[in-house]
Structure 1
Amino acid sequence: MPSLRNVLVGLASIGSALAAGSYPSLKVRNAGVPVGQLKNVSGIQIYHSYPPGRNTSAKAILFVTDIYGVPLLQNQLLADSLASNDYLVIMPDLFAGDAVSVEEQEAGLNLTEWRALHPTPEIDRIINTTIGYMRSKLDVEKIGGVGYCFGGKYVPRFLKASGGIDAGFIAHPSALTEGEISAIKAPVSIAAGTLDAAFNATAKSRAETILNSNNVTFQSNLYFAAPHGFAVRVNQSIPQQAYAKQASFVQAVTWFDSWL
């Protein structure tokens, strides 16, 4: 069961956000034309989505994607949705143009071989470079990290002491180890789904135990009938999936309002 602290933190952050009316939009976009811009930064293609009416922000979100990467429409729209809540959102291409397409994944692409082409040290390098760019060139003072699926492993790696990310949100992470969870020092919010074999209710409970024993500020939600990938790609005709995507988006935005 979630701890009383988890429940109170979640209710307080969501309640304060709604009561204050401080967000232009707490509705995640699922269709339409992306409004961000792609820029080449130190050889990395980076999607920039800006807060309404300006192109700078002292608080920004580093968006660490799933295997579908920057090209996926849903990732771009999700970045735009976060930005509409007054955040600068920076989403780097982690795979040097080699993101998996939905068609490749559905056709049975060998993901083990694909992952070997994008090892952890290289992903860490790209994230480190992006964080440096955010702080030195964009004058960002506080960085929140969102990680989905593949990216859910990497945001925690930068939530350690002096890791570069000040608060994090991860949804349905894949290949996340207990060692990486144990190293977390900054506040973290977790979204898990009951149908996600990569990070199920047992893994969520174990993560909570580790974070609690290390006195880390955390909050977690478990979404019923939510499959792997629910915070990004869902079947909108299935109410439980549509709800899980929308609710996990609110979870992320309100978390950063409290801890970033």
Structure 2
Amino acid sequence: MMPMRRLILCLASLSTAYAAYTFPPRVVRNTGVPTGQLKNISGIQTYLSYPPNYTTSTKAILHITDIFGLPLLENKLLADSLAANDYLVLMPDLFAGDAISVEQQEAGLNLTSWFARHPPSEIDRVVKMIIGYMRGELGVERVGGVGYCFGGKYVPRFLTGGGIDVGFIAHPSGLTEGEVGGIGGPVSVAAGTLDASFNSTAKSRAESILNSNNVTFQSNLYYGAPHGFGVRVNQSVPQQVYAKQASFLQAVTWFDAWL
């Protein structure tokens, strides 16, 4: 019979191996408890998710969220999933505690006044401040930016020599051709066939602009993927589950190559 101590050690090893298998770095988390920490950076509540075994890095990712912002569990888990791939991740509260809840959105809340409270100038201010903190106090040398939905407009605005070196955007909303035309750094784009905010026509037009400007880019179009698929999906719909996982892998692979 195996001694009790050896049995316990074997079970512990199996448990550790199982955990590693269940949550490998290149699989995006959809459930569970967030592992990052909140920190006040010059008045901006910011979620920091650290790479395994260390708290500093010369490469880091700025996560510019959708309208659901910091309170959304999936946003925190997405930041944690990126961090698990050896990237320090910072996700600021873009809206000063005024993020939209899923319940408000599903109830059909009129967003006109909300957008008026959070104009591009204010979002730009927050992003600039966090980038400054990353490059200054944290000593980050290369900054990657991920932008989902609302945030997909702002990563391109800072890929113009404004602080982000490499970008990834998924199902952007409000992104203009002028902002696409200003992109100067490598960018990867994830779009969905069911996304009215950034449809296949908008994707093709963006590709044409990037190609004309000789920008390093890559793009994927995911079948059956609605707006928001990179963050929130219906886990019972295989096409949506695939689109979220594949777009996450798209982002990680892009940063591994260019950041």
Is the TM value for this pair above 0.5?
yes
Instruction: Report which structure shows greater RCO (CA 8 Å, sep ≥6).
Output: 1
Query: Quick one: distance in 1 between partners of 2:236 and 2:28?
Result: 16
1:28-80 deviations in Å (ceiling 9; x for gaps): 00000000000001000000000000110110000000000011000000000
CA distance in 1, matches of 2:110, 2:96: 18
Aligned equivalent of 2:218: 219
Q: CA deviation at 1:108?
A: 1.1
CA distance in 1, matches of 2:67, 2:117: 12
Equivalence for 1:74: 74
Tell me the SS of whatever aligns to 1:131.
helix
Distance (whole Å) between structure 2 residues aligned to residue 194 and residue 34 of structure 1: 30
Mapping for residues 141-220 of structure 1, pairs under 5 Å:
141-160=141-160, 162-220=161-219
Deviations 1:136-193 (A, max 9, x none): 1111010000000000000000001x21000000000000000000000000000000
What is the TM-score with the length of structure 1 in the denominator? 0.90
1:84 partner letter: A
Higher CA-based Rg: 2
Query: How many percent identity over aligned positions?
Result: 76
Structure-2 separation of matches of 1:108 and 1:235: 19
Aligned to 2:11: none
Q: CA RMSD in A?
A: 0.9
Q: Secondary structure at the match of 1:215?
A: coil
**2:253 aligned with 1:258:** no
The one-letter amino acid of 2:70's match is: V
TM-score normalised by structure 2 residue count? 0.91
Q: Report the Cα offset of residue 113 of structure 1.
A: 1.4
Matches within 5 A, 1:56-75: 56-75=56-75
Q: Unaligned stretches of 5+ in structure 2? A: 1-23
1:53-132 equivalent positions in 2, closer than 5 A: 53-132=53-132
| Stretches of 4+ aligned residues off by more than 2 angstroms | none
- Read off the aligned partner of 1:69 and give its amino acid letter: G
Q: Distance in 2 between matches of 1:231 and 1:214?
A: 27
Number of aligned residue pairs: 237
**Corresponding residue number in structure 2 for 1:26:** 26
Equivalent residue letter for 2:251: A
| SS of residue in 2 equivalent to 1:150 | helix
